Amino acid sequence: MIPPQSPPHGRGEQVTQSNSGELRRDLTLLDSTMINIGSMIGSGIFLVPATIALYLQSSWLVILVWIIGGIVSLFGALSVAELGAMYPKAGGQYVYLREAFGQLWGFLYGWTGFMVIISASISAVAVGFATYLGYFVPLSAIEIKLVAIASIVFLTVINCFGVKVGAIVQNSFTFLKMGALGALTILGFVLTPTSSGSVSNLASVCHPISLSNIAGPIGLALVSVLWSYDGWIEITYVAGEVRDPQRNLPRSLIFSTLFIIAMYVSINLAYMHVLPLDTISKSELVASDAATVILGSTGAAAVALAVMISTFGCSNGFVLTGARIYYAMAKERLFFTSFEKVHPTFHTPLPSLVGQGTWASLLVLTGTFDQLYTYVIFASWIFYGMSAGAVFILRKKYPGIERPYKTWGYPFTPIVFILFSLYLVLNTLIEDPRDSIIGLGIILLGLPAFFYWTRKMK
């Protein structure tokens, strides 16, 4: 465990020069920002707008929830940025929760991440990639699973050859999907046929709404929006490999989140310029329908390819970052001890990467990843809220630790983020008590595992 009063690594320790098995600080500000952006842009922005339109039935409310969701995510990034600059080590939330609340909470986060949150995310995104490959090559259900597993294995192997190699893959695919979304946004306003595109679409209301009845639908829509923004915290997990982390980590968190807010609001405006809101609310893949209006049959193929690129890059981000959590746990003897080993040549946590890839592949085979992720989707917001709360606790607990970056808008920003996290958790418990209780049970299964490893450590 980090000595309670010890400051984060000094400037002279930021780049590991050792030839032994140690992580190296090879990630630049650009790499760090692209890891976050690439992890946020998955399949959500192509699919979720239809669900939100169905909930809200009003174009201005649709844009409003995308802005609110973006601000909430930004407040989370601003809060976590202080913690990342304080503790520029591998592990991210695991480190912050451990320092603020003790080993148990840090372990439960890492346990839940490995068992479900991160591993199931890798599985789900990989299956999404394979599903859209089926647009070009017909695949059976078992073939979709095999392609998904092959993509997980491929990305795991790639990331074993160095964090910089993984970052190059991430940068490449992130630039491609940024270009695809940017092109769709511009074309949505420039090339839309006059018979379809209309600025009046942006002021449409499908059905009459009242303020008294809108709170519930807005809450449901926000859950979907925040799922699309999820991934803004990913770079903190590889903080031990970021150059000049006290400066670059906060910047990458903030830059990436601001960029995604602008992109998501813009693409939704483009969707609604091309298609009436009622059409959007009934669409299975809004981006495809919009592209078909703009480009004809070529548009659907272009969007299928864009979703493949997007999900592949998103999966790479999760593979790259997630393994560092279990590496950090293993270094403190709170997980499989082999996971702490770092390859002496490539400087990557190879056993942790392989273990993560193996478990994610098994989840694909069993087909349980989707249900498991549903069970604990709200759990990630428990940990997000606690991480924002850690800003308050650590300021009081360790006032002497150097804070290269302090949360902008403190205490307002972390308080707002905590309240939103609490709202989402309580709303999920009320609306879906069965799955929520099962999810809590999965988290609590980490208790015997924690006592096993702490006893073994002693």
In angstroms, the CA 407 to CA 196 distance is 45
- 8: nearest Cα among 79, 95, 106, 105: 95
**Rounded mean pLDDT for each run of 10 residues along the chain, 458 residues in total:** 38 40 93 97 89 88 94 97 95 96 96 93 92 91 95 98 97 96 92 59 58 74 89 96 96 97 96 90 87 89 93 96 97 94 96 98 84 76 95 95 94 96 85 83 92 85
Of the candidates 387, 427, 363, the residue with the CA atom closest to the CA atom of residue 120: 363
In a domain, 129, yes or no: no
Buried b (16+ CB within 10 A) or exposed e, 237-257: bbbbbbbbbbbbbbbbbbbbb
Check residue 115 and report its DSSP letter: I
**Residues in CB range of 234: below 8 A, 6 or more apart:** 35, 36, 39, 317, 318, 321
pLDDT of residue 203: 59
Range of the domain at 219: 20-112+162-302+377-457
- We report the CATH number of the domain holding residue 207 as 1.20.1740.10
* 233 assigned to some structural domain: yes
Residues with Cβ < 8 Å from 426, sequence gap 6 or more? Answer: none
Q: In the 8-state DSSP scheme, what is residue 367?
A: T
Answer for the pair 394, 100: CB distance below 8 angstroms, yes or no. Answer: yes
Q: pLDDT value at position 57?
A: 83
Residue 221 lies in a domain: yes
- Strand-pairing partners, residue 27, are 242
pTM for the model: 0.90
Tally of domains within the chain: 1
Residue 292 lies in a domain: yes
Q: Is residue 339 part of a domain?
A: no
Only one residue has tokens 């299928």, namely: 304
SS3 state of residue 139: coil
Residue type, 115: M
